[in-house]
Amino acid sequence: MSMYFYDETDEWPEYQIIKDDIRCLEKEHVKIRKELQEAESASGSDPSDAVLKAKVHGLKKKMKEIEKKLDGSLGLYR
């Protein structure tokens, strides 16, 4: 038995589930961030393209949702 509470939490299945959720959200965040960078650069070269503007807006909205979920999950893990 450890002296510190957090030394033992890695063995608990509840914390493993939270850690897995965090990893999944982080992977999705990175993927969407890359897509957003590509869409913004394409939108910069053709600012009149409404489809690209809508795509950038949708990706930014997804990013905010993921960041909100990630903050909530990290709050549970801390």
Mean pLDDT, contiguous 10-residue spans, the chain (78 residues)? 58 80 93 95 86 93 93 74
B/e letters for 14-46, b = 16+ CB within 10 Å, e = fewer, are eeeebeebbeebeebbeebeebbeebeeebeee
Question: What's the pTM?
Answer: 0.74
Structural domains of the chain, with CATH = 12-77 (1.20.58)
Question: For residue 48, what pLDDT is reported?
Answer: 86
**Phi and psi torsions of 29, nearest 5°:** -60, -45
